[in-house]
Amino acid sequence: MTPNALRFRWPLLGLLGLLAIAWWVYLPGLSGGFLFDDFPNLDALGASGRVDDWATFWRYITSGSADPTGRPLALLSFLVDARDWPADPRPFLRTNVLLHLANATVLYALLRQLGRRLASADGAAAGGATALRAPGNGAGAAIPAAKGQPTGSPAIATRWRVDLAALLAAGAWSLHPLFVSTTLYVVQREAVLATTFVLLGLLAWSRGRSLVAQAPRAGTAWMLGGIVLGTILAVLCKANGALLPLLALTLEATVYRERTGSPLARRLRWLLLVLPALALFGYVLSRLGQWSQPLAMRPWTIGERVLTEPRVLLDYLRVLIVPHVLSTGVYNDGYPWSTGLLRPWTTLPAMLAIIALVGAGFALRRRAPALAAAVLFFFAGHLLESTTIPLELYFEHRNYLPAMLLGWPLARAIVRWRVPVALRASVALAILGLLAATTWQRTTLWADQPRMAGLWAATTPDSSRAIATQALFDIHAARPDLAIAILSAPWQRKPYDLQLALNYLNATCQAQGPTPATISAVDAALRNATEGDQLMARWLGQVLDATQVHGCPGVTPATVERWTRAALANPRLAAAPGRSQQLHAILGRVALSRGDGAAALRQFRQALDAWPTPASAAQQSAWLAAAGYPAQGLALLDHYDRIQHRRQRPHGFNMPTLHQWVLDRQGYWPHEFSELRHKMHDDLAAGGKAP
C-alpha cells in the first residue's frame, strides 16, 4: 500500500478504533437497569397486550402522549428490544449504546465535511493555487505542514489535519462522561434518535450546499431532503428535532459564511432555514406573555424559569469543560430557581455571561468560524428546552445535541499546533484517555444502581427524588431502618412532600408499622401537597393491597380511606378531574375490601362522573366482577353508556387524536365492553350477587 493510500485510510481505522474504545467504556453500563421516567413511558409496551400483531402494533405506536407527535419513531425503536412489559433492560441499553456510536460516526462525517469547507474558504481567501478541494467547492490554499506533519502535497497535508480534527472532536464527544446520563437512561432513546436525524439532516444539507452551484438539481435535492425529511424524522422522535433548521442556520452564519453564493442557495436558505428559525423564535417568545402566571404543574413561573436558565446553562458548560465521574444525574428537582435578578445573586452575572458568550459567537464568525459555530450551535440547541417552555429546570441529557461541536475548535487547535507531532499526539491521546477513563468509571457506577442512588442523594440533598430513590433501594434490600434514617430529616424540612412522606410510610410498613403520629403526618401531606400527586393514586392502591395480606401493621382499609379523603380535601387535587377520578376509584376499592358492593358502585360512579374514560369504566367494572359483584359491574357499564357523551375526546392534529381514531377503527372499546358484559352475565347466571 502506498503512503498516500494509507493516509486516506487511516481516518477510517482511527474511527473504528475510537468506536471500539467507546463500546468498551460503556460495556459495564449494560448491566444497569431502568430509571425514573423509564417506568411510566416504557409500560406502553404491554398496555394493551403483547405487541405481536398489527392491531396491537398500531395501538402501541400511536399511544405516545409526549409532544403533539407522541414520538412514534422512538416508540418503534423500543420494539427492537422488547414487545411486552415488564422487560429485561439489557437489550434497551445495548441499543442505546449502539445508537450513540452511530451518532459519533455521523458527527465525524459532518465535522470532516465542515472542516474541508473551512479549509477551502481559507485557501480561496488567500488566493492559493494548491488548496484542498472539497466536493463541489472552489479551490483553497493548504496550510503549510508543521514539523512532523505528513509530507506530500499541501492539499494532502491539509486534508490530513481536517480529518484528524474531526476524528478527535467526534471521539471527545462520544467519550464524554456527561452523556452517560443520556445513553444509559433508556427513555432518552428519544433524544439519541432525534440527534441521529438532526446530524443526518445537517450532513445532507452540507453536502447539498457544496453541490448546488455546479449541480443545482442534485444540490437542491440534498438540501431539501436534509432539512425537510431530517426535521420530520427528528420531531417524530422528540420535539427538539425542530431545531434542525436553526442549527443549520448557525453553520451557514459561521462555516458557510461568504456573502455570495448562487441565487438558488440563497432562496433555499431563506425558505428552509430562516423562516423556520423565525417561527421557532416566535413560538418561544410567545410564552413571555405568561411571565408571572402560576403554572399548574410547576412551583415556579415562566419568568422565574427564564431568569434561572442562564445559571443552568453555565453549569452545563462547567460540567462539559471539566468532566466528572459523578454528577447530579437524573435527579435535579431540588435545583434552586431565581426569583429576581439578584435572588440568588448569581442570576444577573449569569445572564450577562450568556449574553457575552452569544455576542462573542457572532463577533468571531469570520476570524474564528469553528469556535463561533460551536458557541452558537450550543445556545441554539438549547432554545426550546432552556428558555420559556415550562419543562423542568435542569436535565443533563439536554446537552447531548447542543454540545456536539464544542470539542471541534480545541481539536482544530491541537492539530494545527506548530510543535512536534509527538507532543500533539500526546495531548490528543491524553484528552481522549482522560475522557474514556472517567466515562468507564461512570458507566460502572451506573450499573450499580443502589450505590449510585446513595451518591446522588449525598450530592443533591435538596432533591426529594434522589433521597426517595435511595430509600427505595434500602426498602427493597429489606433495610427499612436505613430508609427511615435517610428520609426522616428531609421529611421534617418538607412535611408536605409526597415523595418523602409516602416512602417514609413504606419503610415503616416494612419495619414495625407506622405510629399514629406518622399516619397523621401522611394525612397532612396528602391534604396540603402541591406536587408529586402523580404517584399518589398508585401508592394508595398498593397500600390497600398490602392491608389485604397484613403487609403494613397498623394500617387498615379505614386508614387508606382516611388518607384518600384527605387527598380529596386538597384543593389542588380537587380541581383536577383525573385525580378526583383516581381517588374515588380508591374509595370504591376500599368499599369492596369491606364487602360493600353498593358503596363501591356509588364511588365508581362518582369516579366516572368526574372523568369518564372507557379505560376506567372497564377497569372498575372488572374490579366489581372480580370481587363477586357482576351485577354492579354491569350497572357501572350502563352508567358509563349514559354519560360517555361527556367524555373529553382528543381534538386537533396530534397523536392522541390519531390514537383515538385507531381505537375507533378497530372497535377496541366496544369489543372490550362486549367481552366484559359476556363474562359478567355468565357470572351472574352462575350465582353472582345482585345489586
pLDDT digits 0-9 by tens, 482-498: 989 998 998 999 898 88
pLDDT band per the 50, 70, 90 thresholds, residue 459: confident
β-partners of residue 49 are 47
Confidence check: pLDDT of 7 > 50? yes
What pTM was computed for the model? 0.89
pLDDT band per the 50, 70, 90 thresholds, residue 33: confident
Confidence check: pLDDT of 404 > 90? yes
Instruction: State how far the Cα of 654 lies from the Cα of 379, in Å rounded to an integer.
Output: 28
Residue 561 corresponds to which amino acid? Answer: E
Determine contact, residues 597/624, Cβ cutoff 8 Å.
Answer: yes
Helix, coil or strand: residue 340: strand
pLDDT band per the 50, 70, 90 thresholds, residue 126: low
> How much is the pLDDT for 238?
94
pLDDT band per the 50, 70, 90 thresholds, residue 28: very high
Residue whose grid cell is 443533591: 460
Instruction: State how far the Cα of 241 lies from the Cα of 72, in Å rounded to an integer.
Output: 13
- Decide which of 278 and 38 is more confident: 278
Residue range 606-635: average pLDDT? Answer: 92
Determine contact, residues 376/369, Cβ cutoff 8 Å.
Answer: no
> How much is the pLDDT for 640?
92
Is 489-685 assigned to CATH 1.25.40? Answer: yes
> How much is the pLDDT for 43?
84
CA angle 420, 425, 431 (to 5 degrees): 135
Helix, coil or strand: residue 83: coil
Q: Where are the domains of the chain?
A: 14-286+298-416, 489-685
Instruction: State how far the Cα of 689 lies from the Cα of 597, in Å rounded to an integer.
Output: 9
Determine contact, residues 251/365, Cβ cutoff 8 Å.
Answer: no
| Mean of per-residue pLDDT scores for the chain | 87
What is the Rg, in whole angstroms, of the alpha carbon atoms belonging to the chain?
A: 29
Instruction: Give the Cβ contact number of residue 342 at 10 Å.
Output: 11
> How much is the pLDDT for 157?
67
- Minimum mean pLDDT among 207-211, 319-323, 457-461: which range? 457-461
Residue range 419-426: average pLDDT? Answer: 88
Peptide bond between residue 40 and the one before it cis (omega within 30 degrees of 0): no
pLDDT band per the 50, 70, 90 thresholds, residue 261: low
Backbone φ and ψ for 340, nearest 5 degrees, come out as: -170, 175
Instruction: State how far the Cα of 197 lies from the Cα of 236, in Å rounded to an integer.
Output: 10
> How much is the pLDDT for 146?
43
Residue whose grid cell is 478541494: 133
- Minimum mean pLDDT among 3-7, 392-396, 569-573, 603-607: which range? 3-7
- Decide which of 456 and 167 is more confident: 167
Helix, coil or strand: residue 49: strand
